[in-house]
Structure formats: C-alpha cells, structure tokens
Amino acid sequence: MTGPVTAMAGRKPLAHPSAVCATARVTAVADGRGGSAVSVIRGEGPLAPRLTGSADGDARVTLVGAMSGPLGGDRLALDVRVEDGAGLRMDSAAATLALPNRDDAASRYDVRLSVGEHGRLQWRPEPLISASRSVLRQTVHAELAPTARLFLREVSVLGRSCEEPGRLTTCLSVRISGRPLLQQRLDFGPGALGWDSAAVLGGHRAVGQLLVVDPELDAAPAEPGVPSPGAVVTPLAGPAVLVTVLGEDALAVSRVLNEALPWVS
C-alpha cells in the first residue's frame, strides 16, 4: 500500500471567537492487486486522519485528535469514500469528547460515508462522550451501492464520571441506491423530552448501535432477538440488521455489542 501525503491546517475563524471549522477527507480505492490503497487523506484542526496499515485486503485509517474538540461552536465534517471494489476500516485513537465553551454554544459534527459497488467499509470510532453543558448535534449519512457492505458501530456516553450529561442529538441516515434503509434520530440530555424515562434510556447513561448492511442478508436474514437485558436485534426491511444496546457505561455496552455479533453474522 502506498502512503499518501497528509495535509494539516490550523484553526479557521468563525463568528464565535473560539470556534473551529474543520473538514477531513479519506478515499480508499482498489489497488489492482486484490488489496486497497488510500488515495486521499486530508485533515484540519482536531481531525487528523492517519494511515495505520492494512488487513485482509482492506486499508486502515485512524482518526487522531490533533486538538480538543468538538468545543462549543465548532463545525466539524468528515467525508469518507470507498470506491468500487475497495475496502476500508476507519477507527479512532481515543474517545471523542464534546465540551462546552463559556456561552454554551452548540457544535456540529457531520460524517458522510459513501461505499461503491462491492466496496467494504467498517466504521468503528471510539465512544462519543457528552460532557456537562456541552451541546452537540452529530449526523452520520451513508450512501451505499447495491452490492456495498457496511459495518457501523457507535457508542455514546452521557456525561463523564459523576457529572450530568450535555445535550446530544444524533441522526443516522442510510440509503442504498438512493432508497432509504434507515432514518433514525436520538435526542438525550437537558431539554430533550423524556430522554431519561423508562420508555427511552430508563436511567442508563450509555447507548450503542451496531448496523450491518450486507447483500447476503437478503437470502439469509438475521433473526430478531434479545441477546441480553437492554439489548435488541432488529432485522431491517433490506439487507441489514440493527443491534441497539443500553448500559451503564461504554465498557458494558461494548461488551454486549461484541456478544451480539453471532446474531448478525
């Protein structure tokens, strides 16, 4: 695999004096030898993608935090593309910590994923932690070709140890050939209606999701079930299955997600 040049840039001023506007881009392509290469890898501000190897024909890129973020008022964006026949694993070196600024301004983190024909993408970031008084809206939008495969795993934690959570709104949208597969919005923290009720989190402070999209699930759909208390496996109306887990912390949620893998494989 060839190692491309990484471009980094510093802070870009927004209306808020301490805010950052930053974008990172990663593109994986088939290398013509049965493997994958990274043709584009660029980052700004707190988003610093690094090429960290390959395995089973897939390239691996790790997001490294070059500075704290997202802070209140920040606007961060990540664009990940997997071209036809390529494979990519995206992960992160550490948890993402949403922090407030002095006037409690909201921040945004927008992730766009695109996977071409017979492409493979694993999206495995470390947990997202919503610190007290922070306000973050995160969106993840995936566009998939009919033969694309997607493994998406995310964990959110509401508040650090012994602190109240901030406001966290996450939106997940997945389309195959332009047709909606999944559209989901989660809203937690102060000001969110009923977020800590028995009908939503029931006192838990961590939530995790595992989404698997695979054309083979058309012929052999995953079975619905409850692999453990606080976890549910939900086959979707398409070649996909969604696992949702509630827990006391990120470790508990991650453990149950791992245990649920036999249900979706």
Q: Which residues pair with 87 in a beta bridge?
A: 120
Looking at every residue in the chain, the average pLDDT score rounds to 91
For 52, the token pair is: 């960290």
Q: Which residues pair with 121 in a beta bridge?
A: 88, 150
Contact between residue 24 and residue 78 where contact means Cβ atoms under 8 Å apart: yes
Q: What is the pTM of this model?
A: 0.90
Residues 77 and 212: their CA atoms lie apart, in Å, by: 23
Burial environment of residue 178 by CB neighbours within 10 A (0 to 12, 13 to 18, 19 or more) = exposed
For 48, the token pair is: 């610093």
Q: Which is it for strands 206-213 and 240-247: parallel, antiparallel or unpaired?
A: antiparallel
pLDDT of residue 191: 93
**Of the listed ranges 13-27, 33-47, 158-172, the one predicted with least confidence:** 13-27
Confidence label for 265 from pLDDT (cuts 50, 70 and 90): low
How many other C-beta atoms can be found within 10 angstroms of the C-beta atom of residue 21?
16
Q: Is residue 102 predicted with pLDDT exceeding 90? A: no
Please compute the mean of the pLDDT values over residues 217-235 and round it to a whole number.
91
SS3 labels along 113-170: EEECCCCEEEEECCCEEECCCCEEEEEEEEEECCCCEEEEEEEEEECCCCCCCCEEEE
Condensed to tens digits (0 to 9), the pLDDT of residues 25-39 reads: 999 999 999 999 999
DSSP letter for 70, please.
P
Integer Rg of the chain from CA: 18
